[in-house]
Amino acid sequence: MKAEAWVFGFLAVFFLVVAPSYWFLSSDPTGTAALVMSFFLAVLVAFYLGFHAKKMDPRPEDRKEAEIVDGAGELGFFPPYSWWPLWCACALTLCVLGVVFGWWLALVGVGAGSVALIGWVFEYYRGEHAH
């Protein structure tokens, strides 16, 4: 993971040079704010990747002598299917339409959204999945 951390580290250095240069050459607050925040974006990702690179063992993609099969196995838990994201999206649509048609519709969206979000978060904590 060190390679990825370095990519974002270089990006951070790039923005660290570009942001002040841009400010001194243009005195434009809009672009400077965007460049400064881009610097922080690169720092955030570089810090996260660097932090995890230290804690974990080298992955197959970090080792020169690794084989394709070394990467086999479980990556994480992925729900086979779930309808809750759809209901969450529908509820959010109602909230956004509420801005257009009237706040009462947004309130309906918040109500529907609470049910959908609770359903999504606790999908594998209840019913036959309770553990």
Partner 1 sequence: MVSVGTIVWLASELMFFAALFAAYFTIRGVATGLWEQETAKLNIPFAFANTTVLVLSSVTCQLGVFAAERGQVGRSGSVLNVAGWGLREWFVLTYAMGAFFIGGQVFEYAALIGENVTLQSSSYGSMFYLTTGFHGLHVTGGLIAFLFVLGRTFMARTFTHEQAVTAIVVSYYWHFVDVVWIALFATIYLLK
Interface with partner 1 (CB under 8 A): 29-34, 36-38, 40-41, 44-45, 48, 75-77, 117, 121-122, 125-126, 130-131
Cβ nearer to partner 1, comparing 54 with 126: 126
Amino acid at 124: Y
- Shortest separation between residue 65's beta carbon and partner 1, angstroms: 25
Length of the chain: 131
Cβ nearer to partner 1, comparing 44 with 115: 44
Cβ nearer to partner 1, comparing 65 with 73: 73
